[in-house]
Amino acid sequence: MSNKKNVVLAFSGGLDTAFCAVYLREQGYDVTTVTVDTGGFPPEQLERIAALSKQLGAVEHVTVDARETLFQGYLRYLIAGNVLRGQVYPLSVSAERACQAAEVVRVAREKGTQALAHGSTGAGNDQVRFDVAFRSLAPELELLTPIRTLSLSRQQELSYLAERGVHMPPKLGSYSVNEGMWGTSVGGAETLDSWKALPEAAFPGGELSQDLKPRPLTVSFEKGVPVALDGEKLGPVKLVEALNALGRTYGIGRGVHLGDTILGIKGRVGFEAPAAHLLVTAHRELEKLVLSGKQLFWKESMGNLYGSLLHEGHFFDPLVKDLEAFLTSSQERVTGDVRLVLHPRTQVVEGVRSPHSLMDAKVATYGEANVLWNGSEAAGFAKLYGVAQMLSHRAK
């Protein structure tokens, strides 16, 4: 049995984590690599990653299918909160990193390891998300970050590996793409300039067909969770994957988000997230039908707060569980169907229905007759409703 210290490395199979695997081994660690599949890995890629881990000298490789965990622990609350950062960007990477970090810690505990490692650089948000998660969930374990600590360039990493007989493929294409179940982020020269637009070809779905016809789609929810498409019952993972495939052909959920990074600078990223945009659009419309005005007001605030905590690496703060309890409670009556129509680059809500609808034509119709009050009662209400404003203006 080895007397070396054990380290569990969050492993994507890319250049940075490949370097980490070899470097840590040469520093005297037995390396276990862990790949957490949150929806961006086809089977053949997972096989390639496992083979690479072995080639790099890892003592063990673990693949975790975390798609269901990602939905149940993270995405269902993003849907419940209608969370789109800056009103456009689904928190796909944020949710993935929190989920991946938690799963890596789980494996490390099972293996009885002494250290955790990740391959993030010192430049972006992911280093903070992994660091905070690892230190929150496993503060007793040593934290190793070779890429950040050594401040290596990509060429230096390639040379280091080549000297040891490991030849990583060169970076292909002009864009950095991170694909996951809740969306795909796209980075390139255009995202470094606030004025430039990403070309259609940069998105995973590529340029859109000129022959697209309007496509009706019905999404069904039970207590805020999507459960069916066009009347066909589907588990959450299959449903999200189906919406991604369908929406991608229409260019749904494409855009560029400009916002604040954890490190305090402005950042810009392209994204393609069909399922996220379709589900949030449908869910928000259903909530308008079944929730009170005050619920809708506070849900927007709480949803935005939840999204901010997730995005900024505070997912393991106790407040997150409090917000999840609120969001769960708010979904008790969010059951029903939403009818959408897909068009190139957009979706339109055409109708919504629910057994818990608060819109009852038998009681009152906006702008028309009703049975709950008469004209004189309405006049009295309108007079009292404006008293505070009248007094305020009179005081001037």
Domain boundaries, the chain: 4-161, 174-290+332-351, 362-393
Given the DSSP bridges, would you call strands 215-222 and 254-260 parallel, antiparallel or unpaired? unpaired
pLDDT of residue 1: 46
Q: Please give the mean pLDDT across all residues of the chain.
A: 94
Mean pLDDT of 146-170: 93
pLDDT of residue 364: 53
Q: What is the pTM of this model?
A: 0.93
Of 374, 373, 331, the residue nearest 224 (C-alpha)? 331
Angle of helix 293-311 relative to helix 92-111, nearest 10 degrees, comes to: 60
Residues 118, 123, 126, 129: is their CA dihedral positive or negative?
positive
Mean pLDDT of 344-356: 97
Q: Is the pLDDT of residue 378 over 90?
A: no
Q: How far apart are CA 32 and CA 281, in angstroms?
A: 41
* Residue that the structure tokens 């916002």 belong to: 259
| pLDDT band at 377; cut points 50, 70, 90 | confident
286-328 tens-digit pLDDT: 999 999 999 999 999 999 999 999 999 999 999 999 999 999 9
Query: Half-sphere exposure of residue 145, counting CA atoms within 13 Å on the CB side?
Result: 17
Q: How far apart are CA 307 and CA 286, in angstroms?
A: 20
Of 8, 16, 13, the residue nearest 127 (C-alpha)? 16
Residue 206 Cα distances to 42, 203, 228, 251, angstroms: 19, 5, 27, 8
Q: Is the pLDDT of residue 140 over 60?
A: yes
* Residue that the structure tokens 């037995």 belong to: 30
Q: How far apart are CA 150 and CA 365, in angstroms?
A: 67
Which DSSP state fits 262?
A: T
Mean pLDDT of 100-121: 97
* Residue that the structure tokens 């019952």 belong to: 233
Q: Is the pLDDT of residue 100 over 80?
A: yes
179-218 tens-digit pLDDT: 999 999 999 999 999 999 999 999 989 999 999 999 999 9
Q: How far apart are CA 277 and CA 247, in angstroms?
A: 9
**Which range has the worst mean pLDDT, 30-34, 256-260, 326-330, 366-370?**
366-370
- Report the b/e string of 56-67 with b at 16+ CB within 10 A: bebbebbbbbbb
Asked if residue 253 lies in contact with residue 183, where contact means CB atoms within 8 angstroms, the answer is: yes
Phi and psi torsions of 336, nearest 5°: 160, -165
Mean pLDDT of 357-376: 73
Residues 6+ apart with CB under 8 A from 52: 13, 18
| Proportion of the chain above pLDDT 70, given as a percent | 97
Asked if residue 216 lies in contact with residue 209, where contact means CB atoms within 8 angstroms, the answer is: no
- Report the b/e string of 330-365 with b at 16+ CB within 10 A: bbebbbbbbbbebeeeebeeeebebeeeeeeeeeee
Asked if residue 12 lies in contact with residue 96, where contact means CB atoms within 8 angstroms, the answer is: no
Q: Where are the alpha helices (DSSP H) in 15-72?
A: 15-26, 43-55, 67-70
Q: Is the pLDDT of residue 57 over 50?
A: yes
| pLDDT band at 63; cut points 50, 70, 90 | very high
Q: Is the pLDDT of residue 361 over 80?
A: no
Pick the CATH number of 4-161 from 3.30.70.3270, 3.30.750.24, 1.10.8.60, 3.40.50.620: 3.40.50.620
pLDDT of residue 304: 97
Q: Is the pLDDT of residue 241 over 60?
A: yes
- CATH superfamily, domain 174-290+332-351, is Argininosuccinate synthetase, chain A, domain 2 (3.90.1260.10)
Is-same-fold flag (4-161; 174-290+332-351)? Answer: no
Mean pLDDT of 221-225: 98
Q: Is the pLDDT of residue 172 over 90?
A: no
pLDDT of residue 257: 95
Residue with the bigger pLDDT between 4 and 163: it is 163
pLDDT of residue 46: 97
Q: Is the pLDDT of residue 168 over 50?
A: yes
pLDDT of residue 174: 79
Q: How far apart are CA 203 and CA 206, in angstroms?
A: 5
